[in-house]
Structure 1
Amino acid sequence: MSIHNEIKAIILRALPSLTEEIREHVITSLERSGVESIEDLVYVQQEDLKDVLPIIQQRKLLEAFKLETTKVTLDLQILPDESTDTSMSSLSSPQPCTSSSSSSSQASTPCTLSKASQSPNISSKWYENFEIPWDKMPVEVQSAIANSKRPAPDKRRQMIRILADEIRKCENNPTRNECLIIFRNIVKHFPNSFADMTPSGVIIGSGCTSLLCQLKTRIENMNRAGTKNRLRTSKVPGQLHQRPSDSYGCTQFNPELSPEETYETLEQKRQQLETIYRQEGIRSGVKGEVINLMKTTFCLQRRHINQAPSPSIEDMRIQWPYLFTQRGIFIHFELLTDINVLRVLDLSIKECGQGIRKYLQTKSKNKDVQSIVTQDEDGELTLIQLLMAYFDEGIEGLILRADICLFTFT
């Protein structure tokens, strides 16, 4: 494969929504900068892409370049298939080999997964230098990797437990993004053993969602015995890497009052929201004044929700009418978890939408699903309709249909 096509493949994986024109522009810019091989991508900096991509896409692409230029080696002992009668003792210790970063297939010879030395221009972070302890993994997992097969579920869970123990030696509560970088590296070199894929062999999304969920669940369970606030800190003492995780993944489950506010002033603002609702109704939920008041009174909202005994939904609806609007609940959720629902949904649809649609199109026999598929329409709404049909959910519960009438005045 030419360097042009290799770079194009990397960009497609990192930025699938990029147009062909911009993609070619990026490749041309990289070639003009002197990129002659995949290994040269490690020297690309954000300034080299500032004229062709927005800043977030620049960072995503640089992260992809960093992963692609990370060399990986394996030191595993090839074990015979279970169907063979070869004795374990008759195996000789094979020589280690190196798997190049551009190869997407699994190595058929044994190897040790470890990070190559980092360029001095790249900042060193624990997850970038993390070494997978393959020597501690179950023999069955090592054999499955060597034979390009999937490990048994119980052995895979054992592998996750070992990984969780090793990762917590570096970071007690790693973020999903940090774990994602580790698993992308594993899936990249051993897709047949670990990638999430359809029966036809098509990789779903990033290919490592199931591994990521298993690991995060394991770490969260291990951390339950700890303190309520489990800070995610950087390796530099005193620097906060991310907000503390209070409870159930929330960053502000029980927030503190801001210095300039008291519960009395917040109650006055809550009453102000009630007054606006009585005078202008639910449609005022999109007004800037209402949005600002909802953000300001978030602390009081959480206090009411967390009180014991818990208030009824009807009581909350009376006290906080705008909390039951789309804008209001999205604001509350983002302040509670640091997650923008619409942005995450949009990214998830872009990453997994085509895979879900293709799966439902080929595997589902549901009549409603097939009816939507035959319409041959793409888009977020169509994907949501497909999922609701697949799970036998009524579309009326989520989507409101309205007749639009046009009047002609004479």
Structure 2
Amino acid sequence: MLSEMQDPDIRSFISKVLPDLPGSILSIVEETLQSLGVDTLDDFQFVKEADLLTVLRPVQARKLVASWKQNSQGPGTQSQPDVASTSSLLTSPTSSRSSISPCPSPNLLNADWVDSFEVPVEKFPEALIQCLKRGKRPEPSLRREMIRIVAAEMMRMCPSPTKQASTEIAKKLVGKYPTSLKDVIEGEVVGPGYHSLVKQLQARVDNKRRHVTPRIQKRKPVSDESDTDDVPAILKASVQDTYGCVKWDMKFMPITETQESQNEKREKMRNLWEQGTFNPDEVKELVESTYYSQRKAINGGTALQTLREEWPFLFHEIGISSHYRELTGQPLTETFLRSVGKKGKQLLNFMATVCANKTRRVFETLTKLKFQRGQLEGCSEDVKDMLLLLLSYFNEDEAILFHYTEETNQADDVQVDCLPATPCIIVCGASCYSAKRFMLSIDGKIVNDNITQFIAAINVMFGTYYCLNIHYPVQLRSTLEFLQRCFFNINPEKGTKVETKKNKKQLPVNPRVLTLIADLADHEWRETN
């Protein structure tokens, strides 16, 4: 994502030259340009084709560089300084690379070491080289050896590489050997595809530095006038609320709508809800056309009870799915079912054959689930296994996600005092397998008392986190983020959806989630070879 200081015309320029470039790749190109120090269009004069080869194909990179050169020579464009003069800029104190390479050095090589860094392939063991050449995933031991060699080379050029430096070098590795190193599950790239490498590289660097860093360091005094304290709470919350969203706030009402038409459609939906019979397609269209008013109500902090009265379909599968698609750009149920079809069996196989043999907790959960499931078959039963095993794997609190009540209980019979504030699925039965009905609670209140399918309950539960600006609870942070990234295909590179504490450092991707993703990819390689 571009920083606030970066020229917004850069994105339009790239889109104009490469109109068919997918949005996800466009964002990675922007991030790469930012890391190179490109803040304005004029900075393009210093970009070389080689700088873009980690994220673009050679012809695309040539088009982008050639187009800038052609535009810079056109009428009305200022003459640009010779590219050869960039050496003085790169070695100057104001060089943009300084944010990546803090190592002071009088020569250009060390001042710009990340750009000049070459992957030390010649030092790799022969077995690793063969894997990379053949496009196969290296075994965990070979991957760890690669990390040790690359990190050692990084620290030879700069004793204290930053996280940004590790990120750039991870991009180079993945760009050079995408089939072998990219974060992939069942053919789908997870996030930008290089987060697990960044994690491993930085961990290795930190471990090596630990031996040379003084154990006792003087603490810097914390000023009462810290910049963090000046940020209003509502602004901090909005950063988390907008996480993973493409249309969180609409500044303008659709041109075809007026406030009167929005109010009329809202009243029509309320009447349809009270009647109890409605056409799903009609409701979907009404929800989509009033999305502007719904976002204004939600982002304005409207109370939950008021939202339920004014927008009752926001708590029904039809309304949640329509709103979620507008908000995130992803179809809710379709994305989940497609991901389960591609990745669900592999995840269950990994839990049963690897995790159950390593962790007693997972083994006991697996044994209990086999007894509860019995002879039941089908996608819904697999999803129940998947959710409950993920909770066990991450050792997270099942009671925050599922609350069990009697099969015949109605909404008024549920003990709401025991319910968490975050979205919770109420299981009407002794187990998820025997239950024929589910409910959803938010903020300790039942907001949907009749969900007949378990998969629908999961989708409605997950969708409400995004549609209603609710943060993931700390007790479920790993399970929900794994679902988000691997099964709902929401992969922001920055930020978090987890509840945060003041001054608590947050990583862009949960390390435990990254570990499971990497282990799954290794397991897939072993199963297919």
TM-score by length of 1: 0.44
Determine which structure has the larger helix proportion and give its number: 2
Query: Which has the bigger relative contact order, CA under 8 A and spacing at least 6?
Result: 2
TM-score by length of 2: 0.35
